[in-house]
């Protein structure tokens, strides 16, 4: 096993000809894909990995400078693909990993047959002529709450992010993976993600992108999916689902899995 594989807990399942790479968002790990994997493992080779900083990774490996931009995560992704000798994949990126896949695809478009973005956003902050969903004041309060009492913040943030029932298994699952992160790493990662602005790179993304979004999402307003669609450099398609929350693959698998499977199996029609 290579260095990148070991550091990111890479798992390779199935033995199909085509390869699917599943990349999770902030506060989760590869377990967020547990409802999807059984549906694809018979037809595809499936690669799962954990982003550096996730609670399942060794915090000693987290380099605050490397991960001060999303590029650090894109380099990790490319290193994993190189170690596994992947020459083409369908990349499914949730939340921040949607943008990580986009960044990686600018450097190596040949490695990505298409990118499926779930709950992705190029910018979370509102701006002139742009609605990202947050004001700077909202984010400052969020960071302050994380700093003051991380455990309490996790308990409050998880149900808001997941949406729906406070006592649901999905909320408990997200609380668990969120709480597993080292608090200083979680705060650093949250700052980098929520303050990021990837709008200027969207036009450089030439790989086909399938944009999938919940109707209600605390972190990403529906208008953001349309913004991505308008500004990505290659072909793109948007599907807004009736699901609620930022982790629909965990909280609404019955709604989301069929949509994901359709986008995995079918390309954008010319």
Is 236 known to be catalytic?
Answer: no
- Alpha helices, DSSP H, located in the chain: 3-7, 37-40, 71-83, 96-107, 136-148, 150-162, 169-179, 183-194, 222-231, 248-251, 253-265
- Which of 24, 94, 246, 263 is an active site residue? 246
Half-sphere exposure of 20 (CA within 13 A, CB side): 25
Is 246 known to be catalytic?
Answer: yes
- Which of 29, 50, 76, 217 is an active site residue? 217
- Which of 95, 105, 175, 243 is an active site residue? 95
Angle at 17 between CA 14 and CA 18, to 5 degrees: 90
* Percent of residues in the chain assigned helix, strand, coil, to nearest 5: 50, 20, 35
d(CA 49, CA 182): 18
Pairing of strands 45-48, 89-94: unpaired
Is 168 known to be catalytic?
Answer: no
Sheet of 45-48, strand order: 11-13, 45-48, 19-23, 89-94, 112-118, 209-216, 236-244
* 3-state DSSP assignment of residue 142: helix
Which residues have a catalytic role annotated? 95, 217, 246
């Amino acid at each position: 096993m290579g260095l990148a594989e070991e550091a990111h807990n890479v798992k390779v399942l199935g033995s199909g000809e085509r390869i699917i790479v599943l990349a999770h968002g902030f506060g989760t790990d590869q377990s967020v894909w547990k409802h999807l994997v059984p549906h694809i493992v018979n037809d595809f080779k499936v690669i799962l990995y954990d982003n550096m900083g996730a609670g399942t990774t060794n915090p000693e490996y987290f380099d605050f400078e490397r991960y001060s931009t999303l590029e650090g995560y894109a380099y990790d992704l490319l290193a994993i693909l190189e170690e596994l000798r992947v020459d083409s994949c369908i990349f499914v990126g949730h939340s921040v990993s949607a943008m990580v896949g986009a960044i990686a695809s600018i450097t190596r478009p040949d490695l990505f047959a298409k990118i499926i973005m779930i709950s992705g956003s190029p910018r979370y902050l509102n701006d002139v002529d742009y609605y990202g969903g947050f004001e700077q004041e909202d984010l400052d309060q969020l960071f302050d709450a994380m700093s003051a009492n991380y455990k309490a913040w996790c308990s409050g943030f998880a149900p808001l992010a997941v949406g729906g029932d406070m006592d649901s298994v999905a909320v408990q699952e997200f609380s668990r993976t969120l709480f597993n992160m080292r608090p200083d790493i979680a705060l650093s990662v949250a700052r980098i993600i929520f303050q990021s602005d990837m709008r200027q790179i969207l036009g450089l993304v030439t790989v086909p992108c399938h944009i999938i979004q919940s109707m209600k999402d605390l972190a990403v307003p529906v208008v953001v999916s349309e913004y991505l669609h308008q500004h990505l450099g290659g072909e793109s398609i948007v599907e807004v689902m009736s699901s609620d929350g930022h982790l629909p693959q965990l909280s609404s698998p019955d709604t989301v899995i069929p949509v994901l499977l359709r986008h995995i199996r079918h390309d954008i029609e010319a």
